[in-house]
Amino acid sequence: MYGTVWHDGHFKPYEGAHAPIFSHSICYASSVYEGIRAYEGKIFELEAHLKRLRRSADIFHHSLPYDDQTLKGVAEQLLRTNNLPDGYVKVQIYYGDEDTGFSGRGCTSHILISAIPKPKFPHTKPFSLAKADWRRPSAQCHPYTAKTSSTYALSFLSFRKRPDWADDVLFTSEEDVISESSGANVFFVRGTQLYTPKIDMCLDGITRRVVREQIARHAGIETFETDIHWDDVSSFDGCFLCGTAVEIREVSRIGEHFFMACPQVELIAQIYNQIVRTPHTGG
Ligand code: PMP
C-alpha cells in the first residue's frame, strides 16, 4: 500500500513492517516524527529536519543509533525505489511494548522511514480558519520543542469539530493569544512587515524559519516574533500558513474577519516555490 519502507535498519514492504498493539507510543503518545518533502528528487531542508528529529528524540528519551548520512541515504533510496521524486518522507520513532506502564522503562525505540505521495489538498484556494475549540496549553504544560504525536491530539479533536466553512483551525492560548493551526505556523502581514507568534506555544517550524531567514531577508521584508491576540487579527492586511505539507497557503478568512488578496503573500509563495527547487537548499 505504501511501497517499500525502512524499518529498524531493513528495507521491506510496508505490509511487512509491524508495531505491537501495546506499543508504548500507541498507548501513551510517546512517538516523535518528521514529515519532509522532496522536490524533483531533492530533499528540502533535510539537515534541519534531522536536527529537530534528534531534539525530539532526546526529549522523549528515544535512542536513535543512526547517523545523518545513513538516514539521508535511506530517504533518498526510498524516494527512488518508490518512484516519488516529489514525495513526502516520514520518519517515525516509536517505542515497543516491553513495559505496558506509562513510564515505559525498558521500552526500546524503533524507527520507520517511508516515502509516500505528497499530501494532497482538496483545492488551491486560500484557507478559511476557525478558532479551535480547544485552547493550547502553555509552554510549561506541553513540550513544544519536540515534534511529537501528543501535539496532534488537540489538532485532531479541534480539526474534526471545525465548522463547515473552515479549512483548518487556529489555536489560541487560554488568554486568546494565537499560536498556530492544526499543522502549520502562521504569519500576518502588515505593509512590508511580517508578524508571527513566538515559538513558546507552537512548533519551531522549518518552513517558518525559511520564510524568516531566507525569503523575508531576501525580499527586504522585516519579520517580528510577537504575541498576537485573536482580537488583533483585523488589524493586519493579510495572513498565511506555512509548513512542509501546506507550503505557503494564503488565508482569506479568520473567524468573522475576511482578508483581501495580499500581494506580499503571493510574492512569498513564489519565492518559496523557487527555493524548494534550488539544489543548494536541499539538505
Ligand atoms: N506546526 C505544526 C503543529 C505542524 O504539524 C507543522 C508541520 N510539521 C508545522 C507547524 C510546520 O512545521 P514545518 O515547517 O517544520 O513543517
> CA-CA distance, 255 to 239, in Å (whole number)?
13
151 Cα nearest atom in ligand 1: 3
- From 129, 136, 207, 249, mutation site for ligand 1 pocket: most ligand atoms within 8 A of C-beta: 207
Reference 249, options 258, 237, 262; nearest CA is 262
Q: What is the DSSP string of 17-66?
A: ----TT-HHHHH---EEEEEEEETTEEBTHHHHHHHHHHHHHHTT-----
> CA-CA distance, 146 to 180, in Å (whole number)?
15
Task: Give the pLDDT confidence of 257-272 residue by residue, as tens digits.
Answer: 999 999 999 999 999 9
202 Cα nearest atom in ligand 1: 1
- From 91, 185, 202, mutation site for ligand 1 pocket: most ligand atoms within 8 A of C-beta: 185
Q: What is the DSSP letter of 80?
A: H
pLDDT in the model for residue 279 = 64
Task: Give the pLDDT confidence of 96-142 residue by residue, as tens digits.
Answer: 999 999 999 999 999 999 999 987 766 678 999 999 999 999 999 99
Classify residue 215 by burial, with Cβ atoms within 10 Å: 0-12, 13-18, 19+. buried
- In angstroms and rounded to an integer, the radius of gyration of the C-alpha atoms of the chain is 19
> Average of pLDDT values for 52-60?
98
206 in ligand 1 pocket by Cβ < 6 Å?
yes
207 Cα nearest atom in ligand 1: 14
> CA-CA distance, 47 to 43, in Å (whole number)?
9
Q: What is the DSSP string of 146-205?
A: S-BGGGHHHHHHHHHT--TT-SEEEEE-TT-BEEEESSSEEEEEETTEEEE--GGGS---
Reference 97, options 153, 9, 18; nearest CA is 18
- The edge-to-edge listing of strands for the beta sheet with 4-7 is 10-13, 4-7, 109-117, 87-95, 32-39, 42-43
Q: Which three cell numbers stand for residue 268?
A: 512569498
243 in ligand 1 pocket by Cβ < 6 Å?
yes
Q: Residue 40's pLDDT band (boundaries 50, 70, 90)? A: very high
Helix (H) or strand (E) holding 68: helix 68-81
pLDDT in the model for residue 281 = 43
Q: What are phi and psi of 98, to 5 degrees?
A: -65, -30
Mean pLDDT of the chain: 95
45 Cα nearest atom in ligand 1: 15
Alpha carbon of 244 to ligand 1 centroid (Å): 7
Is pTM beyond 0.85? Reply is yes
Please say whether the beta carbons of 132 and 160 come within 8 A: no
pLDDT in the model for residue 269 = 94
